[in-house]
């Protein structure tokens, strides 16, 4: 697998995985041949379904798991054998892992005790970070009296008071309610920008990753699937897995039957569709492909005179509302489901009811081609 750089100077990344593999019990492969470079000051989100290897990857960085093979480098130096406490990469846990028998202030100051820092100095620094995170008045309280959002701030203060170059976060927002998640996403992103610290953030929630990170890493079954800017990954998935995992994509299987100057013609179960192949796939006639088009790129009731559009007649069978965005589910004559995402106001203008038939359309510039595995 080719090394993939994430920002920064490609020759001197802050962190690097070189052919890293992690096995459990000899036969269970949690991470396979991982090659990844992470630059200074990046906010990197590692995403994937449960069991994909993302948390194991984070734990290897933290020094809590040792790679079975391969090399981990930090500032160009191997750290495979370096214990966790010497790596200075604090990990903010999903459960926050605060000490219940210590005050909030003592929890934040705890890490500085091992550095032999005088008590007055460590308490001063701990209080300063609590103030910075807006919970300075809670210094004397017990962690058991804190809300989820307050406990998360204490866990962040405990990690950041050590002034690390890298901060590791393992799904730290999963225990918060939806309103607090949105608020903390904004605060985490702003905190990372202001500090310039490299954040490595593990999550299964793509909205969290896209809201905060400047790079996303998609994993599945221990393997790296795609790395890139959030918008690039969202709009140009490279594999069927990424297309299914990210966004709301329509995926239609087919075979290329014509390679034209302006577009490829793909024979599919719902008819012949065209794609200008913006994904850059080196495709040829007879090749099996997945044609992918994002649900928000599909239009309802399009102008039939648009020669560049793919036109499909389908029946509305379902609706799903999330805030001001609605996802419509259509069914074609071949029982293929196609999704359309639009604003609530646009749906009102269409005046569509369940079982109504409509023409769906998307331009060939909006249809990606992914090789069929």
* The pair of three-digit structure tokens given for residue 311, joined into one six-digit string: 């036109």
Q: CB-hemisphere CA count at 13 Å for 293?
A: 28
Q: Please give the average per-residue pLDDT across 95-110, as a whole number.
A: 90
- Give the other-Cβ count within 10 Å of 286's Cβ: 8
* Phi, psi (rounded to 5 degrees) for 208: -65, -50
Q: How far apart (Å, rounded) are the C-alpha atoms in residues 339 and 182?
A: 26
pLDDT at 226: 96
Q: Please give the average per-residue pLDDT across 16-28, as a whole number.
A: 93
Non-local (6+) Cβ contacts of 292 within 8 A are: 237, 243, 249, 250, 251, 252, 367, 368, 369, 370
Question: Residue 1: is its pLDDT beyond 50?
Answer: no
- Please name every residue paired with 17 in a beta bridge, in sequence order, or none if there are none: 36, 72
pLDDT at 88: 87
Question: Residue 304: is its pLDDT beyond 70?
Answer: no
CATH 2.40.50.100 in the chain is located at 248-371
Question: Residue 28: is its pLDDT beyond 80?
Answer: yes
Q: Please give the average per-residue pLDDT across 167-193, as a whole number.
A: 86
Angle in degrees, CA 194, 200, 202, rounded to 5: 125
Confidence label for 3 from pLDDT (cuts 50, 70 and 90): very low
pLDDT at 302: 62
CATH 3.40.50.300 in the chain is located at 15-89+164-235
Check whether domain 15-89+164-235 has CATH 2.60.120.260, yes or no: no
Q: How far apart (Å, rounded) are the C-alpha atoms in residues 53 and 31?
A: 5
The pLDDT > 90 percentage for the chain reads 62
The pLDDT > 70 percentage for the chain reads 95
- Mean pLDDT score across all residues of the chain: 89
Sheet with 368-371: strands ordered across: 271-275, 264-268, 249-259, 288-294, 368-371
pLDDT at 133: 87
Q: Is 336 exposed, middle or buried (0-12, 13-18, 19+ CB in 10 A)?
A: middle
Give tens-digit pLDDT for 158-178: 999 988 999 999 988 887 787
Give tens-digit pLDDT for 61-76: 999 999 999 999 999 9
Fold topology of 248-371: OB fold (Dihydrolipoamide Acetyltransferase, E2P) (2.40.50)
From the list 332, 315, 357, the residue with the least C-alpha distance to 271 is 332
């Amino acid at each position: 697998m080719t090394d993939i750089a994430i920002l920064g100077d490609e020759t001197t990344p802050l962190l690097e995985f070189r052919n890293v593999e992690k096995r459990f019990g000899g036969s269970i492969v949690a991470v396979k041949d991982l090659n990844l470079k992470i630059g200074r000051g990046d906010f990197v989100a590692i995403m994937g379904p449960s069991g994909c290897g993302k948390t194991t990857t984070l734990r290897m960085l933290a020094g809590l798991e040792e790679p079975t093979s391969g090399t981990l480098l930090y500032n160009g130096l191997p750290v495979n054998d370096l214990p966790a406490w010497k790596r200075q990469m604090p990990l903010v846990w999903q459960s926050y892992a605060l000490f219940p028998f210590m005050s909030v202030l003592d929890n934040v100051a705890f890490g500085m005790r091992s550095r032999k820092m005088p008590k007055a100095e460590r308490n001063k620094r701990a209080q300063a970070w609590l103030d910075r995170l807006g919970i300075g008045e809670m210094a004397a309280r017990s962690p058991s009296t804190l809300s989820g959002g307050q406990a998360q701030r204490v866990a962040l203060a405990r990690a950041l008071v050590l002034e690390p170059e890298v901060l590791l976060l393992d799904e730290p927002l999963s225990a918060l309610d939806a309103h607090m998640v949105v608020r903390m996403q904004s605060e985490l992103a702003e905190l990372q920008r202001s500090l310039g610290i490299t954040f490595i953030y593990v999550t299964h929630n793509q909205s969290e990753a896209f809201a905060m990170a400047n790079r996303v890493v998609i994993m599945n079954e221990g393997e790296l699937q795609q790395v890139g800017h959030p918008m690039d990954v969202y709009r140009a998935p490279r594999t069927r897995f990424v297309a299914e995992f990210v966004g709301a994509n329509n995926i239609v299987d087919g075979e290329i039957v014509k390679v034209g100057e302006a577009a490829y013609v793909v024979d599919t179960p719902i008819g012949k569709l065209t794609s200008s192949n913006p994904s850059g796939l080196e495709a040829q006639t007879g090749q099996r492909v997945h044609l992918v088009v994002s649900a928000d790129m599909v239009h309802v009731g399009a102008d039939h005179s648009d020669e560049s559009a793919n036109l499909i007649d389908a029946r509305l069978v379902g609706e799903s509302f999330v805030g001001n965005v609605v996802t419509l589910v259509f069914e074609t004559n071949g029982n293929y489901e196609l999704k359309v995402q639009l604003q609530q106001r646009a749906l009102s203008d269409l005046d569509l009811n369940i079982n109504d038939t409509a023409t769906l359309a998307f331009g060939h510039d909006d249809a990606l081609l992914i090789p069929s595995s």
